[in-house]
Structure 1
């Protein structure tokens, strides 16, 4: 299956040349910026979005909602790691060479890529995180999915992946995250609930300030004598 896209008339190859051609026309500083963004920058941004999401969901007043949200958030990076592991046998089975091995004239921004091309690990991780964050919180999930799409564009722009490598990564990351989310929730929710009850680690699940405010807001029960006086 190494010859998935070796014909120049293939739309996959044509789109590769069109997107990678933008790198040839761009100034050198743009190429260097895209190299950093595509290799490290977007994944770092996704981590920051995940931390921002965690900071937000732990401020929920309802403990059970905070527990379920944090459990879903914990699953997101675990799903990304699992999806990359699933990709190892896929790559070995397909054995698709990198596009610059099969095609000439590409502007390759990252050297030293000797592994197989299908599917893209970067696209897989990025979309797995995006899908996991979307399950946790819609707003942060949409931001993360947007970053994942940008990651896919960067990988083709850099000349290290075909468009279908990226699409396959998106599909793999999404499938692993969503299909295993119910099982992950069953396993992670009790653990996160136990952490939320810990005096030392509970702040990881629910903000102590929120807990304190909620405790003050709960009215104290009135003494029985007051009830008897009102009835009289």
Structure 2
């Protein structure tokens, strides 16, 4: 399929965001490029780990931990789903369509431009995290938006590539979540009962185990018959 048409407004946005790279000091632009390529994905992984630390002792920890596992799996599924989409659309990257017009801060990028793998994976993780823990999820959503911005900033994606990536990641994380949770939750619950994976959903040290109702109740004192009138 031929490349997508690029309205003037999209090219204006592309040049405006990518043009920041020329106006910023070199080290700052390189830092933004590094964060977009590696830093933000690593930060999202750290957020998943932090969310596990927050929910691992909750009453319904198995469901929450399953949701965190789905966050990572959803990112991978979004990338897999994008393979046929990218081949079908076959949109060249912006620096290929417009040679010499952009400042490309990430070298060696091949493949098609639509949709952005980084954007789709980041949004999939963010949405899945939001379903588990709203506070951590909001931070992840902010990072996902920054991820999309950096892909345009470094000159390897059009804005619509990023928007398409966000839509794909959100669709995967939401639409496939019920089926994924139906499988992952019992797996996590079962694994948590084993010695090897008990750390996934550790029980609270106190107050988390119900009292044993099988213990005999103390015997009631009865009056001495000899004292009866």
Which of 208, 217, 228 is 1:224 aligned to? 217
**Equivalences for 1:1-232 in 2 at 5 Å?**
1-6=1-6, 10-60=8-58, 62=59, 65-103=60-98, 104-206=100-202, 208=203, 210=204, 212-215=205-208, 218-219=210-211, 221=213, 223-226=216-219, 228-229=220-221
What TM-score, normalized by structure 1, do the two folds share?
0.89
Corresponding pairs, count: 220
Structure 1: 5+ residue stretches without partners: none
Normalised by the length of structure 2, the TM-score is: 0.91
Q: Matched residues in 1 for 2:108 and 2:216: separation?
A: 75
SS in 2 for 1:147: helix
Deviating more after overlay: 168-177 vs 194-203 = 194-203
Check 1:34–1:5 CA distance in 2 against 1; reply closer, same or farther (3 A cut): farther
Q: Distance in 2 between matches of 1:121 and 1:200?
A: 34
Change (3 A) 1:17 1:215: closer
1:198/1:46 Cα in 2 relative to 1: closer, same or farther (>3 Å)?
same
**Residue by residue, what CA displacement relative to the aligned partner does 1:133-154 show, whole Å, maximum 9, x if unpaired?**
0111111111111100000000
Deviation (angstroms), 1:229: 3.9
Matched residue SS, 1:111: coil
- List, as ranges, runs of 4+ consecutive aligned residues in structure 1 with deviation greater than 2 Å: 218-226
Hey, which of these two has a bigger chunk of helix by percent? 1
How far 1:219 sits from its partner (Å)? 4.8
Cα distance change on mapping 1:96 and 1:214 into 2, 3 Å: same
Q: Rg: which structure is higher?
A: 2
What root-mean-square deviation, in Å, do the aligned CA atoms of Structure 1 and Structure 2 show?
A: 1.7
Structure 2: runs of 5+ lacking an equivalent: 223-229
Distance change (3 Å), C-alpha of 1:151 and 1:59: same
